[in-house]
Structure 1
Amino acid sequence: MTDFSAPGWNDIPARHWQGGPLDCSTCEHRDLLPQQACEPGRACLQDAYARRIDRFFARHPALAARHLQHGYFEVRAIAARHADVFLLPALIDDPDETVRLQLALRLPQRQLQRLRGDPHREVRIRVAQRLAPEQLATMMHDADYQVRATVARRLPVALLPLLARDADAQVRQEVARRLDMPGLWPLAADPEPEVRRVVAQRLPAPLLGRFSRDTDLLVRWEAAGRADETVLGLYLDDPDSEVRARAAHRRGLLRRPGLASVPAPEELPHG
């Protein structure tokens, strides 16, 4: 038996995926060794190291289909990356999420829908990133906030108001970044300042007086940089000097012909 335990190719020591040293004499692809079509410690199907398995399949993608039911999850996952996409639905119920993640990246839309209720959040996030927007409504109430936030980035705008009262502020921020009036207006009263700040960046200028008494400095600062003459005076009297300075800069722009649409500098206030 050849000893492949020493480090090679600046990689970690080669070890069999079931533990112990590699033994090429027991490998079903040992006929590739004399041709240097596989290299223990560099490109090897038996290795526990995923990078070496990937190198093997990169050299021999036609062999991937033969290993979709392999006992080692890394082999199945990497084989799924290289195998014909029409073979992948058989792995939808694979016990390992690493394998199902690969499916979420490659399956066509009809099969991808079968992963919407996957038990692992990372799989569902990938599904939400790829699923056709018109199919995303079924994922709006996912238990994981990152899944819902991903849905909010891609959901048809007509359905976004359904997420405007989501329990998580990050989801509501994503909604606020995409909703237009009148659907955006209710989020001006959101309990979280991070959401109100996004609204202050997008609300029509004449409506920005809504934030003149906001308890959050950054919300008022954002509004002061976009307000029009009808409400700007509310910010010129703000108790915070940086909000007043931003409002004064905005007033200067509004009174210079052709510059009213130029945004105020984006340097955030201190404190």
Structure 2
Amino acid sequence: MVDDDLGLPLDWKGKPIRCRECQHQAINAMGLCVKGKACIRDRRARRVERFLKGNPDLADQYLDHPYFEVRAGAARYANVFRLPPLLSDPEPEVRAVVTLRLPEDRIRHMIHDEDIDVRIAAASRLQGADLMPALHDDAYMVRITAVRRMPAELLPLVRHDPDPEVRAWVARRIDLRALPDMCFDTDPLVRREVAERLPMDQLRLLVTDSDLRVRFTVAERIAEEELEPLLDDPEAAIRELARERIAQVPHLAHLLESKAVPLRLLETEEANPEHPSKEPSR
């Protein structure tokens, strides 16, 4: 349910909204604003947003409004040349909106803002060397945002980040020549990302990985000629996948025959009453 159906139309001070007291009676008469739906005086951000979206030419006059939701909404539609002063707005939501709109050369310093959301906004806009401060940010989401945008050649700097989610993004984007070093990451989900991208001739590095998800990914991608060790994997699903893939390559049939012999001998013994199984010693 959208907020149109919830809450009385109150202004940012909690007082009832009266259209007759508003300076926009003319556009109200034209249906360009509706109390409780699209109203610049409403305390609900969504209703303010609808007003400004329908009347963007009025945004400039609300950049200094005392209610931060109005300033933030106005910053989305106002003339970009009017926005620089709002980089020092006391409300982080306003600073974040402005950071997303101004040119990069005007927002470099915002990567050091005290608010996480503002720094994320800056990291989503900046490029190259301007992202370097974000690599050491205390907030992992700032670091992730930077890792998703920075040049691949800089990613080795972050492959030992303390957060596995950051390292997982590094594994998704880092140059393949640097990827093998991440095979030894302490987090299995990071190693699985490595297994998804590692060149086939290097997947043997993960054949004996301690995590079944990593080994399963290896079993899906590794060359059939390299699958033999996985026929003895502790996990049945991995052994079966290895058998299925090897079975599709005729010249590798001998690998399956050698693994199948003990099973056939066991079945023969159980079916032959002349060779009963030995009783356990007492």
Query: Normalising TM by the smaller chain, what interval?
Result: 0.7 to 0.9
Asked if 2 retains the 8 angstrom alpha-carbon contact of 1:226 and 1:250, the reply is no
**1:168-225: per-residue Cα shift (whole Å, max 9, x none)?**
1011111111123331111000010001111111112222222222111111111111
Instruction: Verify: 1:111 aligned to 2:106, yes or no.
Output: yes
| Pairing partner for 1:123 from 118, 121, 134 | 118
Name the CA shift for 1:229/1:36 in 2 (closer, same or farther; >3 Å): closer
Instruction: Verify: 1:90 aligned to 2:82, yes or no.
Output: no
What residue number does 1:266 align with?
none
TM-score, normalized by length of structure 1?
Answer: 0.83
What residue number does 1:57 align with?
52
**Distance (whole Å) between structure 1 residues aligned to residue 61 and residue 31 of structure 2:** 21
Residue 77 of structure 1 aligns to a residue in which SS?
A: helix
What residue number does 1:214 align with?
209
**1:12-66: per-residue Cα shift (whole Å, max 9, x none)?**
3111211121244544445655555543333322211222222322333222111
What residue number does 1:202 align with?
197
Residue 138 of structure 2 aligns to a residue in which SS?
A: coil
Asked if 2 retains the 8 angstrom alpha-carbon contact of 1:211 and 1:223, the reply is yes
What residue number does 2:218 align with?
223
TM-score, normalized by length of structure 2?
Answer: 0.80
**1:134-189: per-residue Cα shift (whole Å, max 9, x none)?**
53223111111111112111110110000011001011111111123331111000
Asked if 1 retains the 8 angstrom alpha-carbon contact of 2:84 and 2:102, the reply is yes
Instruction: Verify: 1:175 aligned to 2:170, yes or no.
Output: yes
Name the CA shift for 1:211/1:100 in 2 (closer, same or farther; >3 Å): same
Q: Which runs of 5+ in 2 are unaligned?
A: 252-282
For residue 142 of structure 1, what is the amino acid of its counterpart? D
Q: CA deviation at 1:10?
A: 3.8
Asked if 2 retains the 8 angstrom alpha-carbon contact of 1:112 and 1:127, the reply is yes
Asked if 1 retains the 8 angstrom alpha-carbon contact of 2:215 and 2:238, the reply is yes
Whose Rg is larger?
2
Q: Which runs of 5+ in 1 are unaligned?
A: 1-7, 257-271
For residue 77 of structure 1, what is the amino acid of its counterpart? A
Instruction: Verify: 1:140 aligned to 2:135, yes or no.
Output: yes
What residue number does 1:102 align with?
97
Q: CA deviation at 1:246?
A: 1.6
For residue 131 of structure 1, what is the amino acid of its counterpart? L
Asked if 2 retains the 8 angstrom alpha-carbon contact of 1:177 and 1:199, the reply is yes
Name the CA shift for 1:253/1:136 in 2 (closer, same or farther; >3 Å): farther
What residue number does 1:44 align with?
39
Asked if 2 retains the 8 angstrom alpha-carbon contact of 1:209 and 1:232, the reply is no
Name the CA shift for 1:188/1:13 in 2 (closer, same or farther; >3 Å): same
Q: CA deviation at 1:254?
A: 5.2
Asked if 2 retains the 8 angstrom alpha-carbon contact of 1:140 and 1:148, the reply is yes
After the TM superposition, which residues 251-266 of structure 1 pair with which residues of structure 2 at under 5 Å, given as runs? Answer: 251-253=246-248
Name the CA shift for 1:39/1:188 in 2 (closer, same or farther; >3 Å): same
Instruction: Verify: 1:242 aligned to 2:237, yes or no.
Output: yes
Residue 119 of structure 2 aligns to a residue in which SS?
A: helix
Name the CA shift for 1:33/1:242 in 2 (closer, same or farther; >3 Å): closer
**Distance (whole Å) between structure 1 residues aligned to residue 232 and residue 31 of structure 2:** 77
Alpha-carbon RMSD: 2.3
**Distance (whole Å) between structure 1 residues aligned to residue 19 and residue 240 of structure 2:** 74
Residue 198 of structure 1 aligns to a residue in which SS?
A: helix
Asked if 1 retains the 8 angstrom alpha-carbon contact of 2:110 and 2:119, the reply is yes
Asked if 1 retains the 8 angstrom alpha-carbon contact of 2:111 and 2:122, the reply is yes
Name the CA shift for 1:43/1:240 in 2 (closer, same or farther; >3 Å): closer
What residue number does 1:154 align with?
149
